[in-house]
Amino acid sequence: MPQLEFRQVERRFPVKRDLGDLLARRDRVWLHAVRGVDLAVRRGEILGIVGESGCGKSTLARIGVGLQPADGGAVLFDGHPLDGPDRAGRLQMVFQDPYSSLNPRMTIGTQLAEVVAHYQPQLSRADRAARVQEILAEVGLVPETALKFPHALSGGQRQRVSIARALCPGPEILVADEPVSALDASVQAQIINLLKRLNRDKGLTIVFISHDMNVVRYLCDRVAVMYLGEIVELQDSAALFAAPAHPYTRALIAAVPDVRRPQPLAEPISGEIPDPFALLPGCRFAPRCPLAEPACQAPQPMRALGPSGLVRCWKAVPAT
């Protein structure tokens, strides 16, 4: 059974109508940020969710940890719907900007102790402090960090603190939304190593949301690619990068600049992510896709790809 499962998860926002729309009695228009997402997160894996801005990856993550409600579908934890504080203790989130997620007026030790106290109210003061020290050590911070304020820390240290805070309740799944995007490469490597260590040593399941294909390739066991609210491909990381099946995945990988070669080999895709309001019923990538045919305008279900992959493109799987 998957540890965390998204079933037909939907998230949509009403689009503001102007007076003209109202007078013409035009129907309310919805923007589907997340559309019919099925995704199963396996215990102990690092699952990457990649895509460009506006693809819905962050919204999906927030729905997963319960920070945003879903408008349809279900999120199951160990097969059961999970609500309230119970969910918070078992699923924790790490954000891109550690500075805005820490209290600037409280020492690191106090902030972490507060979180520990919330989840383990039975602990004495001394035990709480000891637990905080334990967690700081786990994320590679020296004990004195507890006495410091967030502004006295470097960007990398702050991101370690926000990971430490997420670890306080003893979660089983960590959802990390672009946790290294704001960091310099030399510091980014520290945080990536830390996440990998937490996964290997503690068996922590990690859902890693990122736009950086190089980081995802290195860190993740499996990767889901999102485009305009839908998952278009899901594969083991090695298979995805060796043989991306969906034309969008191929374009995404081809566009990543590589320090080892001067020019990307593939032709770039044209255009940008289209207006999400005016979408065709079929493949959402078709307007930019070099392989598009009339048949792409039919709705595209996910199709099996190899033993464990899925792809939302009829041209990507061999005809049977």
Bridge pairing between strands 173-177 and 205-210: parallel
Shortest Cβ 137–other proteins spacing (Å) = 17
Nearer to other proteins, 13 or 218 (CB): 218
* DSSP secondary structure of 46-93: EEEEE--TTSSHHHHHHHHHTSS--SEEEEEETTEE--HHHHHHHEEE
Shortest Cβ 139–other proteins spacing (Å) = 14
Nearer to other proteins, 88 or 251 (CB): 251
Shortest Cβ 223–other proteins spacing (Å) = 12
Q: Which residues are near other proteins by CB under 8 A? A: 52-53, 154, 184-190, 192-193, 196, 211, 213-215, 217-219, 237, 251-252, 254-264, 268-273
Nearer to other proteins, 188 or 300 (CB): 188
Nearer to other proteins, 103 or 270 (CB): 270
Shortest Cβ 154–other proteins spacing (Å) = 5
- Asked if 47 and 220 count as a contact pair (C-beta separation under 8 A), the reply is yes
Give dist(CA 46, CA 204) in Å, integer: 9
Nearer to other proteins, 118 or 200 (CB): 200
Report residue 301 as tokens: 């279900």
How open is the CA angle 309-52-160, to the nearest 5 degrees?
A: 90
Distance of CA 218 to the CA centre of its chain: 15
Shortest Cβ 4–other proteins spacing (Å) = 23
Which residues make Cβ contacts (< 8 Å) with residue 173, sequence separation at least 6?
3, 4, 41, 90, 91, 92, 204, 205, 206, 207
- DSSP H helices, the chain, are 19-23, 57-65, 84-90, 108-119, 125-138, 155-167, 185-202, 213-219, 237-242, 247-254
Report residue 204 as tokens: 């922590």
Nearer to other proteins, 17 or 87 (CB): 17
Shortest Cβ 98–other proteins spacing (Å) = 15
